[in-house]
């Protein structure tokens, strides 16, 4: 990994990007490799590329991941080098989209049977087909909507659109670019369609909340043209890879397993990995009893969870269900997994954040009074019984979400506009005419320290005003 001396001349080195994150050969998009040569600072400006000079002129000389840790400790100690476990992370501030082939196919995900999204969908599909000469894919359900059937003008264009059915067709090698029209649910649905490499996603805010949809539709032509030209910032939203293991029992019925020593147990693994963008939720379902599950980290039992359930969330999902359950909100560039209990039967069970590389396993406790239920981004809900488990870890295939401005401003704008984060009426300033401020000299000290004598209630502390 290369390094660059901080422009503030404080002698601290900062990590710079060295690798491409999306290296799938089947895709036409990648991230620009902004590696800065390891040269003497006096020759730095002559050696950097135009793109690096652009990033440098924007005033960002520090990596968004912070300072590279010093691997040497004292005169003789250092971290053992292990090339097998070396992880190279690209600086999020340099993640910008580029195309090594001209994108030809676009997938439009719209909110189904929503009349407010119909006209924007019609406008953008017509523009992409007629002016950009792109192949447009839509879900087959869209062609069954009354607006499509009854619109004579759009009917001719509808014959030029390609359709797909969820779960029946693999879109991995067909789609170059994704456009979402609706709310956050459209982005979650788009993520679920791709179990491996995900094309760049541009989400327009046409729904209710719109925390994950930063783009406004009014200037869609200019914004999409800019993206197709390869000039846009990206936020790589990490996903969770999940698999359900069912406990299979050979021999007598499971209720007789304790009575029969011939009963054999083994885990049957689901063949399908489920990709999750927001969170995995394990809860007690319709049962009135506490949910009782065991939590493991990298194969080690950490704790048992007794309560309404447990949320395993990505940083993207930390502003969704986890935030409502009392967890902290995490920027999507932070490589982490958030574990948050739902109404735990313990006052000391607080949400925790663990490294993104760990494997989390949730298993129904053998002594649990009832089964549990698991859902993935609010979908694929299924029951898990005693001995069943869910394994969760961070996927190597993130969702490349196209920013409206950049990774930092988009996130804080969404916090302010959608969640009204830290919205409070401003405290009034002190008035020079009506405020009396006490000092040590103005206090009545005639009581000579007699604590039993009554004092003026307004002289509770020197230097404090009685007015709020």
Q: Which residues are catalytic?
A: 184
**Which of 440, 441, 429 has its CA nearest to residue 467?**
429
Contact 463, 439 (CB under 8 A): yes
- Please name the residue that has the structure tokens 């147990």: 265
Backbone angles phi, psi at 303, to 5 degrees: -165, 170
Count of beta carbons in the 10 Å neighbourhood of residue 6: 15
Strand ranges for 183-228 from DSSP E: 201-205
The burial of 355, by beta-carbon neighbours within 10 Å (0-12 exposed, 13-18 middle, 19 or more buried), is given as exposed
Contact 310, 295 (CB under 8 A): yes
Alpha-carbon 251 to chain mean position: 44
| Straight-line distance from the first to the last Cα atom of the chain, in angstroms, rounded to the nearest whole number | 54
Q: Where are the alpha helices (H) located in 235-304, listed in sequence order?
A: none
Cα separation, 167 vs 336, in Å, equals 29
Cα separation, 241 vs 52, in Å, equals 34
Cα separation, 129 vs 297, in Å, equals 49
- Please name the residue that has the structure tokens 């949730």: 362
Contact 186, 207 (CB under 8 A): yes
**Which of 279, 273, 278, 258 has its CA nearest to residue 386?**
258
DSSP 8-class letter at 190: H
Kindly give, in sequence order, each residue whose CB lies less than 8 Å from that of residue 282, ignoring residues fewer than 6 positions away. Answer: 291, 293, 309, 310, 312, 362, 372, 373, 374, 384, 390
Backbone angles phi, psi at 194, to 5 degrees: -125, 110
**Which of 33, 37, 28, 27 has its CA nearest to residue 196?**
27
């Amino acid at each position: 990994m290369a390094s660059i001396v901080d422009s503030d001349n404080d002698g601290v080195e900062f990590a710079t990007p060295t690798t491409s994150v999306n290296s799938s050969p089947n895709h036409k998009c990648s991230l620009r490799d902004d590696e800065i040569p390891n040269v003497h600072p006096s020759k730095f400006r002559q050696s950097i590329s135009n793109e690096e000079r652009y990033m440098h002129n924007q005033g960002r000389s520090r990596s968004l991941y912070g300072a590279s840790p010093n691997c040497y400790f004292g005169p003789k100690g250092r971290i053992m080098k292990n090339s097998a476990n070396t992880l190279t992370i690209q600086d999020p501030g340099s993640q910008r989209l580029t195309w090594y082939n001209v994108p030809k196919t676009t997938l439009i995900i719209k909110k189904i049977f929503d009349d407010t999204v119909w006209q924007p969908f019609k406008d953008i599909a017509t523009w992409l087909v007629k002016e950009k000469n792109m192949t447009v894919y839509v879900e087959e359900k869209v062609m069954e909507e009354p607006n499509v059937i009854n619109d004579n003008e759009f009917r001719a264009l509808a014959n030029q659109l390609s359709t797909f059915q969820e779960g029946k067709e693999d879109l991995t090698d067909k789609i170059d670019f994704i456009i979402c029209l609706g709310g956050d649910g459209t982005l979650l649905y788009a993520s679920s369609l791709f179990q491996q490499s995900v094309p760049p996603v541009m989400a327009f805010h046409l729904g209710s909340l719109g925390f994950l949809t930063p783009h406004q539709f009014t200037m869609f032509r200019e914004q999409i043209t800019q993206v197709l030209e390869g000039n846009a910032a990206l936020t790589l939203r990490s996903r969770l890879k999940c698999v359900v293991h069912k406990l299979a029992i050979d021999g007598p019925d499971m209720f007789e397993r304790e009575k029969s020593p011939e009963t054999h147990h083994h885990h049957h693994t689901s063949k399908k990995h489920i990709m999750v963008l927001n969170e995995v939720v394990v809860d007690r379902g319709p049962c009135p009893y506490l949910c009782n599950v065991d939590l493991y980290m990298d194969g080690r039992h950490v704790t048992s969870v007794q309560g309404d359930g447990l949320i395993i969330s990505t940083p993207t999902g930390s502003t969704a269900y986890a935030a409502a359950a009392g967890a902290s909100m995490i920027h999507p560039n932070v490589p982490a997994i958030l574990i948050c209990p739902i109404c735990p039967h313990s006052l000391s069970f607080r949400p925790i954040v663990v490294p993104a590389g760990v494997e989390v396993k949730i298993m129904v406790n053998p002594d649990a009074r009832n089964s549990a239920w698991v859902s993935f981004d609010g979908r694929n809900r299924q029951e898990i019984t005693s001995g069943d488990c869910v394994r969760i870890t961070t996927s190597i295939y993130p969702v490349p979400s196209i920013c409206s401005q950049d990774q930092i401003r988009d996130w804080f704008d969404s916090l302010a506009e959608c969640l009204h984060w830290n919205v409070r009426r401003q405290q009034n300033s002190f008035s020079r005419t009506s405020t009396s401020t006490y000092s040590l000299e103005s206090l009545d000290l005639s009581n000579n320290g007699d604590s039993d004598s009554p004092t003026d209630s307004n002289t509770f502390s020197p230097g404090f005003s009685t007015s709020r």
